[in-house]
Amino acid sequence: MPAALALFAHPDDIEFRAAGTMLLLAQRGWAIHYCNLCAGNLGSATMSSARAAAVRRREAQAAARVLGARWHPPIARDLELFYTDRAIRQVCAIVRRVQPDIVLTHPPLDYMEDHMNACRLAVTGAFARGMKNYRSIPARPPTLASVALYHAMPHGLCDPLRREWRPDAWVNTAAVQRERLAALACHRSQRAWLDATQKMDSYLAAAADEARELGRRSKKFTHAEGWTRHLHLGFGAAADDPLRDALGGDCVEAR
């Protein structure tokens, strides 16, 4: 069975950026895997760090169940996810265990460091998957199977210098919006936090509006997610595009 692994920073990042695509892959018989590398412990203005981490862990696990995904535990606390030797080895172990055909992750440029560090760790962890002499934490046997990496749209749909981000492919998520928003709704603790810190009047409405905006930009779909394929070198063949192959007419080149 082909597999897709979502490697993102915080609980709810997957639902905002990638859940529609994951649901479509699951409908086509793919195994999907859900991993937030950060614990979510700073995502509350009222709970203690430990309490926030425990609540957000349960919320992420509930969201993964809605998506039909296998949940993998975080490796770091919020704002403590760095591009370090240990973190690379931990992410490499996840990749080796799952042996995904597709890795979905953040873009290299995004509005906060946890997102960009998660992206760097996903790329290097996947790159090291087949290196016999590279020891992951925990130890896992290497795999030389090809993997394709895809970068999601950045938060705010622009890079940190406010330049509009243009993906190279659009995925039609209109048919799975209900399930996507149901998964996002599992992150109940985030409503007040996002209202207070990012001026989102309703995180569910904001997610729905963004999907419609991306659909408008696609000029083809009513709701969409955007993806940019990572350079193939070190990961597979130049022609490898398993997301397009799996989704067919629901994945089109951005023009």
* Predicted confidence (pLDDT) per residue in 132-177, tens digit: 999 999 999 999 999 999 999 999 999 999 999 999 999 999 999 9
Mean pLDDT, to the nearest integer, of 185-205?
Answer: 71
Signed CA dihedral, 183, 79, 102, 217: sign only: positive
Domain count, the chain: 1
Could you identify the residue written with the tokens 């990496």?
A: 149
Distance CA 160, CA 165 (A): 10
Query: Per the structure block, which two tokens stand in for 151?
Result: 């970068």
In terms of residue numbers, what domain contains 85?
3-253
Report the CATH number that the domain containing residue 98 is assigned in CATH.
Answer: 3.40.50.10320
- Residue 102, helix vs strand vs coil: strand
* Cα–Cα distance list, 21 to 144, 176, 234 (Å): 25, 9, 24
Q: How far apart are CA 235 and CA 102, in angstroms?
A: 10
What are the structure tokens assigned to 87, written together?
């973190």
- 9-53: pLDDT as tens digits: 999 999 999 999 999 999 999 999 999 999 999 988 889 999 999
3-state class of 225 per DSSP? strand
Mean pLDDT, the chain, whole residue set: 95
Say which DSSP state 165 is in.
P
CA–CA distance from 179 to each of 18, 67, 77, 176, 194 (Å)? 12, 7, 28, 5, 21
| Dist CA 227 CA 218 (whole Å) | 11
> Virtual CA dihedral for 123, 177, 155, 183, nearest 10 degrees?
-70
Predicted local distance difference test score (pLDDT) of residue 43:
85
Q: What percent of the chain has pLDDT over 70?
A: 96
Judge whether 168 and 51 are in contact, CB under 8 Å: no
Six token digits for residue 89: 């080895």
Q: Check residue 188 and give its pLDDT.
A: 87
User: What confidence score (pLDDT) does residue 192 get?
Assistant: 67
- Whole-angstrom distance, CA of residue 19 vs CA of residue 16: 7
pLDDT recorded at residue 202: 79
Q: Strands across the sheet with 102-105, in order?
A: 70-72, 31-36, 3-8, 102-105, 148-151, 224-229, 169-172, 251-253
The model's pLDDT over 201-231, given as tens digits with 9 standing for 90+, comes to: 478 888 999 999 999 999 999 999 999 999 9
145 near 235, Cβ under 8 Å?
Answer: no
